[in-house]
Chains A and B, each alone.
Chain A
Amino acid sequence: MAVGTFPRSAATPAGVSTLPLDTVRQAIADSIPVLIGITPFGIVIGAKVSDSPVNNLAGWAGSFLMYGGSAHLAVVSGLTAGAGIVAVLAAVIVNARLLLYSAALAPTFRHQPRWFRFVGPYFLTDQLFALTSARLAAGESDRGIRWYYLTIGIVMGLVWVPAIAIGVLLGPVLPTSWELGFAAPLMMVGLLAPALQNRPAWAAAAVGAVVAVLAASLPQGLGLLAGTAAGALAGVVVARWRGRSDV
């Protein structure tokens, strides 16, 4: 199939193929390290679901309803703490970075067919954003990037959804003395660690943790909400204060 028949693929440098089959093959190759990373993550989330009071089927359904580990973990932890709407809010805050990815990819999606502009965002994750950005920087065509993006999104889903199911099924079989439920807070500090680059982030985390514990007896996960709000406020205040003192 002649590549030149697609008007928008004019700027295709040497070495970047726009033939779908090659693109699909490259997408699968590029996704392998990602798949190795998300498989244990998914199993741990599944094990956490089975270890929590959250309904197993609902907890597993989060794998395709939410399609993202950190927010999934946040919702399950929120539900465990007795939250409802606050658990949804926690997921939104954890996933707020997706707004930035969405904004960054918007110019690319503008040239895409309508169906892809609705289906594509469903698959948008940290890993897919990173791989797609690299591919775009290498000068991939609109048609090529669509195949590349969809292939990685689908392949990741094909690994992610069963991985969480395996975790849910494995959970009750594993000895309770292993304390695998503790994997959830360990994972969450792991997700938190890269954000601790500056004092505002440290302040936000410290105040968030302390206030959440002090307010933990509030019903409906309001302690979580209080901790998050107080932490974010502390972070903003420290950022503003530092910004002013630096001038």
Chain B
Amino acid sequence: MFDLIVIAMAGVATWTLRSSFIVLVGGRQLPASTDEVLRQARPAVLAALVATAVAGHGATFDAALGVRLLALVAATAVVWHTRNLMLGLAAGFAVLWPVLAFTSL
């Protein structure tokens, strides 16, 4: 139930963002300072989510973490060059899977 409430709240917040200028403010521009902070907050929150998922809470730097970081770097590089999310995903697993297959990481 808690999960559903959080996701529903995120849904309402998302609709509000989508409709803000269309329904509420009607054609005004975003203040420059807000725009600047939001522009920097997006890479920050995505990186924070990735870092927490991979190395959060009690993780130590070992080979298992190392190969995952390598997979993340590969995915980033591929998407950076191709702008294709699925190719990035494939690149990440192309690094991870062979290592997992031959080791016990």
Binding site for B on A (CB under 8 A): 37, 40-41, 44, 54-55, 57-59, 61-62, 65-68, 71, 73-75, 77-81, 84-85, 87-88, 90-103, 105-107, 109-110, 117-118, 120-122, 124, 177-179, 182-196, 200-202, 204-213, 216-217, 223-224, 227-236, 239
Contact = CB atoms under 8 A, between A and B. Distances in A.
A204 B39 CA distance: 10
A231 B41 CA distance: 7
B76 A189 contact: yes
Contacts of A208: 43-48, 51
B22 A62 contact: no
A110 to B, nearest CB: 7
Contacts of B17: 92, 95-96, 98-99, 102
Given A65-B8, A105-B22, A232-B40, A224 B52 contact: yes
A186 B75 contact: yes
The A interface, classified by DSSP as helix, strand, loop or mixed, is: helix
B56 to A, nearest CB: 4
7 contacts: A73-B49, A96-B17, A190-B79, A191-B46, A193-B75, A208-B51, A239-B36
Interface string B66-105: 0010011001110110010110110011001100100000
Contacts of A216: 52, 55-57
B40 A236 contact: yes
Contact of B11 (A66, A96, A177): A66
B4 interface: yes
A207 B43 CA distance: 10
A232 B44 contact: yes
The B interface, classified by DSSP as helix, strand, loop or mixed, is: helix
B63 interface: no
Contact of A87 (B6, B30, B58): B6
A193 B22 contact: no
B4 A37 contact: no
A96 B41 contact: yes
